[in-house]
Chains A and B, each alone.
Chain A
Amino acid sequence: MTSKLLLAATAALAFATPAMAQTVAITNAKLVIGDGGQPVDGGTVVIRDGKVVAAGPGVAVPAGIRVIDAGGKWVSPGIFAGFTRLGIVEVDGVDETNDSGASGTPFHAAIDVTPAVNPKSTPIAINRAEGITRAVVAPDNRGSIFAGQGAIIDLGSDMDAVSKPRAFQFMEWGEAGARAAGGSRPAAYAALKNVLFEVRDYVRAPGSYTDRGKDAFLTRADAEALVPVVQGRMPLLVHVERASDILVLLQLKKEMPALKLVFVGATEGWTVASQIAAAGVPVIATALNDLPESFEQLAASQSNIGRMTAAGVLLGIGTINQDEARQARWEKQYAGNLVALTKVPGATGLDWGAAFAAITSKPAEALGLGGEFGSLKPGRRGDVVIWDGDPLEIGTSAVNVIIDGVEQPLENRWTRLRQRYLDPKEGALPKAYQR
């Protein structure tokens, strides 16, 4: 075991950056592209310099490159976790290790999660071992509807985790937005309108836009961070649950067509699905919440995703407020449950291909990044997982995880503790000597 671990560690060091990514082919695969299609047998994936060159049943393996024979196993793109706080929290309840939000700062929209991402955090290693290869990482809001700028990260074992810094701005709306804005939805709406006004002011003359100390509604840094949002160059992810709140945002989008809105959560989305689809606003939805956890989620139903998808909404799965710092791995189980709904009378689920796309290509597309992540179409990052069964089924494990073309170590604290305590009794020496 030890020597195997050393090897893995050496491999991780040797291929520490995407620039050193591998070229590899995976053959004899039960292949899933991640674009909504069903698996096909006898597939091949070719990755060159960390990117997918080709994937399909009739793909030839270029001469002289490394070949992994999947032996008929399932092969798919790695899971693209649609909304998480992976890598910025070690233990939620231990403040020193939790960089998701800051209540003592004057900055909000300017906050950028990038410097907080720790590739060595435990949740990254655990989720990597279960086939999660990329994640949307968002900050949490404190004292403003704007939480700050989130990133796309990879879950590789190297120290270069951030694939795309400042990929989006995150905003709270509905009950959480109201709370942050002082206590009501109109207050949140006024705050948003004022911020947009101030940002336009900033754009007109950045040099003369000055901080106004504690009286400022928007610091200079916050204004600067919001320019690409207002100009439609950066998606604005908005956590919103209630149908009427969704419609308010759709009206705002009509007034400011440049805004690249993406809804997060959207528990009551199914009740206004046609309007969301018509506005072309993608959704990163919570998968299975069917409880009226709050008054903005009264219409909660597990059929939400199926119904919105059927209405034509571009839809991926995320895990907002669902152990998002550590349990992105549950997205596979969530997607499987959406397939289960297709057998429940009156419910609306997703077929297997659509369910798998909802945790791979769809969330990437929702952020406008479908050309780079989330599927095995040519040109995408070489994030590939070989599974020992149907990846949505309980009990299936990732047996080989490849990120940017680099094979990843799958050891973590879970596997280490398991090895020590598979027999809980102490032996000739204390457990502390058993590794």
Chain B
Amino acid sequence: MIRSLIIFGALAGLAACDSSSTRAQSASSDPAPAASGPGKGKGYNHDPFPSTYHAYPGAPTLLTNVTVLDGEGGRIDNGQVLFRDGKIVAVGQNLAADGATVIDGRGKYVTPGVIDIHSHMGDYPVPGVQANSDGNEMTGPVTAEVWAEHSVWPQDPAFGRALANGGVTTLQILPGSANLMGGRSVVVKNVYARTMQGMKFPGAPYGLKMACGENPKRVYGSKGRMPSTRMGNIAVDRQTWARAVEYKRRWDKYEEKGGEAPSRDLAMDTLRGVLEGEILIQNHCYRADEMAVVLDMAKEFGYHVSAFHHAVEAYKIADLLKANNTCAAVWADWYGFKMEAYDAVPENLAILDKEGACAMIHSDDGNGTQRLNQEVAKARASGIKAGMNISEEHAWTWLAINPAKALGIADKTGSLKPGKMADVILWNGNPFSVYTRPEMVWVDGALMYDSKDPKRRPVSDFELGQPGEGDVK
């Protein structure tokens, strides 16, 4: 699992680095001669909206006398974390400050920044007015051609709340779940920028949002068109994948051997990316039986499901998920708001974890994302009450390395390991307690929130001149 995801990440990084405009031109206006194609993956630009994110300056910092949860299951009591030039340098005890700013965190915890793998910030921003409602292209059940990043409004006030109150440093923004294939997701660093590209996580793979169950069949059934049933959902999915396999074959052939370039289809580009392992499937799916069908469909067409989201019945098939190397992203205790959420249990995450499946917390909510540490605390407590032994340091993987793996960015963030991005939270107590809040949050080693300094509190353009501007929130 880890290895294959790192490979995916490396591929995507390569694509990001190689995205020169000359390559795009060579595909469109200067077709390569026959028997000599442009080369694998070079038939068209895979990164036309490249990240312009840059880390802000940060002081070399040594956090001392803290309990460290490293995000991969490690713990150091009375430990230290040193970061410099945006990267983690060392984690341990008796580290040399070497000129770094020393922050004494006695009685406090340090963790990697929270990763929320399921967010709609920017594409369903607040205020939730129709004019800014850009998350669901509800005009056809398959819209793999749309990209969530083209909807993301970087002034969404919710980004700032997630940072200050939740310590969220990385988010995956997904299209909504009205469609079977809702479009590409985008991973962002939680740092305000003037443009979406300015927030985009460098080198993160794209995701394809898919959806099972009630939403697609309700939305399109009510329009009198397919799908109107769960079997209709899968039929439309399979027909689309069959086309994608054919599209991939044509483009693979062209890229290898040349000739006339096949016609472009933006939706098929995305599905081809999935079949190549370059784009990760992020699949909204509640019911256990439907997840099992999707896993077989993935085998039929040769792709891998990175994670099921909202997987409220994942606990029923924890062994099956483990066998398929597929993660489950879940809530701690949402239930019953719709029929397919009827069998939710608060032990879901803990049972998945106990069975060895890759499991994590997610929010899907601008309020919940501010308390993902508490959601993990609830899921852990439910597991412990059910007789499981779950340490704090292990539970922290549920909002750190596990979502990083499912997003294909585990080589860059998601734990406090030397060389990784210095995405770090200093909590003012034990983050498994309801009484604890983030005190300071660094992104790529830059201090982006400090509870003691109102100047280190982001205020989006929308909030300027409004009641409550710059309040603690």
Contacts and interface: CB of A to CB of B under 8 A. Distances in A.
Interface in B435-452: 435-437, 451-452
Contacts of B351: 421-422, 424
Given A91-B338, A292-B127, A326-B337, A414 B345 contact: yes
B47 interface: no
A94 interface: yes
Interface string B346-375: 110001000100000000001100110010
Given A298-B466, A424-B318, A393 B346 contact: no
Contacts of B335: 126, 326, 414
A288 B367 CA distance: 8
A291 B126 contact: yes
Nearest to A332: B434
Nearest to A334: B434
B219 interface: no
Interface majority SS (helix, strand, loop, mixed), chain A: loop
Given A292-B127, A343-B428, A94 B339 contact: yes
Given A91-B337, A243-B467, A291-B158, A340 B436 contact: yes
B434 A345 contact: no
Contacts of B206: none
A347 B472 contact: yes
Interface string A277-310: 0000000000011111111011111110000000
Contact of A92 (B336, B377, B386, B471): B336
A294 B318 CA distance: 40
A220 B432 CA distance: 55
B468 interface: yes
Given A290-B165, A418-B347, A424-B355, A299 B468 contact: yes
Contact of B454 (A327, A346, A393): A346
Given A291-B158, A340-B434, A393-B434, A91 B339 contact: yes
Contacts of A395: 377-378, 380-381, 384-385, 432
A281 B194 CA distance: 43
Contacts of A122: 336
A236 to B, nearest CB: 26
A300 B317 contact: no
A201 interface: no
A205 interface: no
B472 A343 contact: no
A405 B214 CA distance: 43
Contacts, number: 153
Contacts of B463: 292, 298
A299 B463 CA distance: 9
A123 B433 CA distance: 25
Contacts of A299: 466-468, 471
A339 B435 contact: yes
A90 interface: yes
Interface in A313-363: 323, 325-327, 333, 336-337, 339-341, 343-347
A291 B367 CA distance: 8
B459 to A, nearest CB: 12
Nearest to B315: A421
Interface string B414-435: 0000000000000011001111
Nearest to B452: A345
Given A93-B339, A393-B434, A424 B315 contact: yes
A343 B438 CA distance: 11
A81 interface: no
A271 B336 contact: no
B162 to A, nearest CB: 10
B301 interface: no
A268 interface: yes
B99 interface: no
Interface majority SS (helix, strand, loop, mixed), chain B: loop
Contact of A298 (B367, B451, B467): B467
A301 B157 contact: no
A417 B341 CA distance: 13
Interface residues of A, number: 54
B473 interface: yes
Q: How large is the interface on B (under 10, 10 to 19, 20 to 34, 35 or more residues)?
A: 35 or more
Given A91-B338, A291-B161, A394-B434, A301 B384 contact: no
B342 interface: yes
Nearest to B457: A346
A75 interface: no
Contacts of B434: 333, 336-337, 339-340, 392-394
B157 A91 contact: no
Contact of A394 (B318, B432, B462): B432
A49 B446 CA distance: 63
A341 B437 CA distance: 8
A293 B127 contact: yes
B224 interface: no
B451 A417 contact: no
A424 B319 contact: yes
B289 interface: no
Contact of B386 (A90, A293, A341, A422): A422
A4 interface: no
Contacts of B337: 91-93, 323, 325-326
B433 A271 contact: no
A148 to B, nearest CB: 22
A17 interface: no
Contacts of A337: 371, 374, 434
Contacts of A291: 126, 157-158, 161, 366-367
Contacts of B345: 414, 417-418, 421
A397 interface: yes
A327 to B, nearest CB: 8
B96 interface: no
B343 interface: yes
A120 to B, nearest CB: 14
Nearest to A270: B468
A122 B366 CA distance: 27
Given A394-B377, A394-B432, A302 B468 contact: no
A425 interface: yes
A294 B128 CA distance: 6
Contacts of B432: 394-395
Interface in A99-156: 122-123, 126
29 contacts: A93-B214, A93-B337, A93-B339, A94-B339, A122-B336, A123-B336, A288-B370, A290-B165, A293-B126, A293-B128, A297-B127, A299-B471, A302-B472, A303-B471, A323-B337, A326-B336, A333-B374, A337-B374, A339-B434, A343-B428, A344-B437, A345-B452, A346-B454, A393-B434, A395-B378, A414-B346, A421-B316, A421-B345, A425-B319
Nearest 8 interchain pairs by C-beta: A395-B381, A336-B434, A299-B468, A93-B338, A299-B467, A290-B473, A394-B377, A347-B472
Interface of A: 90-94, 122-123, 126, 243, 268, 271, 288-295, 297-303, 323, 325-327, 333, 336-337, 339-341, 343-347, 392-395, 397, 413-414, 417-418, 421-422, 424-425
Interface of B: 126-129, 157-158, 161, 165, 214, 315-319, 333-339, 342-347, 351, 355, 366-367, 370-371, 374, 377-378, 380-381, 384-387, 428-429, 432-437, 451-452, 454, 462-463, 466-468, 471-473
Given A292-B157, A393-B435, 12 more contacts: A92-B336, A298-B467, A298-B468, A299-B467, A302-B473, A336-B435, A337-B371, A394-B434, A395-B385, A414-B346, A421-B345, A421-B351
